[in-house]
Structure 1
């Protein structure tokens, strides 16, 4: 059984890109995005639950998020969880709905968020490079075992490098788009 598995490498690299996109979606850009509240967990029914399991989040306009809590008895814990999530949001309680006005970002905060987006991007690139290294090591192992010839190994190494380059380009594109969105350019 050969150690090299191109489909596995593709899956792992795509996973790094998806993880990055999830991280970037959680960054606040001054525009309302329901993904902003994805990391919020609420303590209800004696357990910590994701906000999405106790309420519906919507963005009725670009500067406002609306959180419709399904069970009125949970509105207090939901409000508390949003306030303590460190997102800089102050919920306005309307009985069963929480309105979250999205404040303008200061220039300093925009630069911090852009730097954070860059660090997320670098983490994803490191993950992709680790996958590349694993793939190259597997090819060398297969060549030593006699599963691959030297020419086949070189051809597969070129494939792995092309896959790596394409994935890194996708990461750079996602990251630079998010930085432009954050910086308002």
Structure 2
């Protein structure tokens, strides 16, 4: 029973770290990445769809993305979606090809983005601590039901704390790597 609780906590913490990695892909660094436009939704065929479902997105060089719609009637809606996004980029259109040029980041903007990255890391840590709290509560519930002893509870809480410490260390490493990527000129 205790092993199941620990495995569940560990799996949920791993998902929190993966979610952090996914969220950090959207944070713009000096390099172009197709992950930057993953969150853009385009009004197409009467509904909002992800950009990747109406166009091919590729990296042409370190500072530009190329978007090629599969339907040439989608060029306007894609441009509108990019302009309406929080990326702060202006699309350049040549025929049916849309190019996004990423200007170099200023020192001030890099610092702002580093704060955003740190905030995302803190959110992940809070989620991990909540998972720890839930796991500890489940262990205490087992004690109340007299299925385990107090020694088992202490041992389980120590093991859950070790799992938590490792997950928080992983979050710190992910955040540090992203901040280094951001600050590299």
Query: Which of the five TM-score ranges fits, normalised by the shorter chain?
Result: over 0.9
Structure 1 residues not aligned, in runs of 5+: none
Q: Name 1:101's counterpart in structure 2.
A: 101
C-alpha deviation, 1:153, in angstroms: 1.7
Match of 2:120 in 1: 120
Runs of 4+ in 1 over 3 A off after TM superposition: 1-4
Partner of 1:42: 42
Corresponding residue for 1:181?
Answer: 181
| Conserved? CA contact 1:143–1:153, under 8 Å | yes
CA root-mean-square deviation: 1.6
Matches within 5 A, 1:13-92: 13-92=13-92
DSSP-derived class of the 1:68 partner:
strand
Deviation by residue 1:26-74 (Cα, 9 ceiling, x = unmatched):
0001210110111111011111111111111111211111111111110
| CA shift for structure 1 position 7 | 2.2
Segment of structure 1 superposing worse, 62-71 or 1-10: 1-10
* Equivalent residue, structure 1, for 2:6: 6
User: Which residue is 1:156 aligned to?
Assistant: 156
Matches of 2:61 and 2:117 in 1, distance apart? 25
Change (3 A) 1:110 1:116: same
Question: Matches of 1:103 and 1:2 in 2, distance apart?
Answer: 52
In 2, the alpha carbon distance for the partners of 1:48 and 1:26 equals 19
SS in 2 for 1:31: coil
**Is the aligned partner of 1:147 residue 2:147?**
yes
Task: Give the conservation status (yes or no) of the 8 Å contact 1:3–1:139.
Answer: no
Compute the displacement of 1:4 (Å): 6.1
The count of residues paired between Structure 1 and Structure 2 equals 185
Mapped to 2, the partners of 1:101 and 1:69 lie a distance apart of: 17
Q: Is the 8 A contact 2:67 2:97 kept in 1?
A: yes
Contact 1:4 1:142 in 2 (8 A): no
